[in-house]
Structure 1
């Protein structure tokens, strides 16, 4: 008997009320009206992806605990339930799926973070482009680098996929609703993206990328799309 096929959908949350010049990080703000519409469209899109690939959608949508991701998951689950009324879709929130944390710099503008570091005699000034540097971590309590966040998200995804792989069932699509910076760097940790390619890629709001485990410690993209952008404009 062949092993069940398991595909992971890496999904970014919808558009949300992000204050100007404040890193996304762990911001608590809700979806905009546009983001609500994007989340509902996501439910339809996931339903169609399952049909095209001959997969069954796992009934639990994993998401970040941040409001924008939780709302995205809930709205998508509502639509999925209407499209497949014989099944019940729920969400499960996980801290592990959160965006890269800026720690004690949370809710500060980029300029205010730079001023705080400059005023602290223990630290050098922040390097140019620090937000997008994959291995740079702010010298603030609780802060992470993008690669640290990516490793955290990748570990959650691979752990949940392992649970499915060791459980009998139909071929399945498992949904993970998280955040753009964390997901891109998770894909690096999963062997599906080269780190050098990341600065030129982003994710659309409620955009998705489908990943399938192809060999030990490596995944490959089989569907969906990254948002391509000039490397010079890279930001988290």
Structure 2
């Protein structure tokens, strides 16, 4: 469906990585594994659908592509770069940044949920983790380097906001085409970022997910509000059980 951008700011495409070789029962933020073959193919198809939307709207894709440092997001960005090759006005540059990463569990990275909970239970300094701590937006593990989902979302939101303002400030007044900027990252941190930008409500964080490889597009308005422009959120079947 053709969508019209409503302001002079760029459209930001938040694109979740494709399915990857994820270690089970393990918080997924810093897992270093690659996309599955199925995940690669679903990203190819998603990128082709995205290209159609760009053409329908006569959008211009920014040649600066951003992704988190996790391999699954990096690979997803590279597939999009290949599939959208004819739509870039110049050879694209791919930038990776820790600010687009998923919520970090700090020094407990890549341990299982049971291992993390056992560490807290045996450490006299800490209380036991609450039930469903992994999906609690506000809970932060009391471990070095750990973040809550809300903190991670704020980090991502600040990155998106800075890039939106940066691109807007450098746009020429005679450029009528709306520019689309691509960001490849992770579902939970993108959703929490959308909350911080007032695109979705607090209850929507648990109600929504993101489809693998698909873009959800948002845009800053001239009055500094943010709105959802295009792309569908995925509706969760179980509100309290999710990974990135």
TM over 0.5: yes
Q: Which residue of 1 aligns with 2:143?
A: 140
Number of matched residues? 234
From the superposition, tell whether residues 85 and 200 of structure 1 become closer, same or farther in structure 2 (CA, over 3 Å).
closer
Q: Which residue of 2 aligns with 1:112?
A: 115
Q: Which residue of 1 aligns with 2:228?
A: 221
C-alpha contact (below 8 Å) 1:39/1:73 kept by paired residues: no
Q: Determine which of 109, 114, 124 is the counterpart of 1:121.
A: 124
- Looking at structure 2, the residues matched to 68 and 80 of structure 1 have their Cα atoms a distance apart, in angstroms, of 18
CA deviation vs aligned residue, 1:178-222 (integer Å, no higher than 9, x gap): 101100000001110111221111111112211111354531112
- Unaligned runs of 5+ residues in structure 2 are 1-5
Aligned-pair RMSD on alpha carbons? Answer: 1.8
CA deviation vs aligned residue, 1:49-87 (integer Å, no higher than 9, x gap): 211222111112211011110011011101111x44864
Deviation of 1:36 after TM superposition, in Å, equals 1.3
C-alpha contact (below 8 Å) 2:152/2:189 kept by paired residues: yes
- Give the number of the structure with larger relative contact order, counting CA–CA contacts within 8 Å between residues 6 or more apart: 2
Deviation of 1:45 after TM superposition, in Å, equals 2.5
- Unaligned runs of 5+ residues in structure 1 are none
Deviation of 1:4 after TM superposition, in Å, equals 3.3
Q: Which residue of 1 aligns with 2:67?
A: 63
- Looking at structure 2, the residues matched to 159 and 11 of structure 1 have their Cα atoms a distance apart, in angstroms, of 18
Output aligned runs, 1:1-236, within 5 Å: 4-81=8-85, 83-84=86-87, 87-167=90-170, 168=172, 169=175, 170-214=177-221, 216-236=223-243
- Looking at structure 1, the residues matched to 106 and 121 of structure 2 have their Cα atoms a distance apart, in angstroms, of 17
What is the TM-score of this pair, normalised by structure 1? 0.93
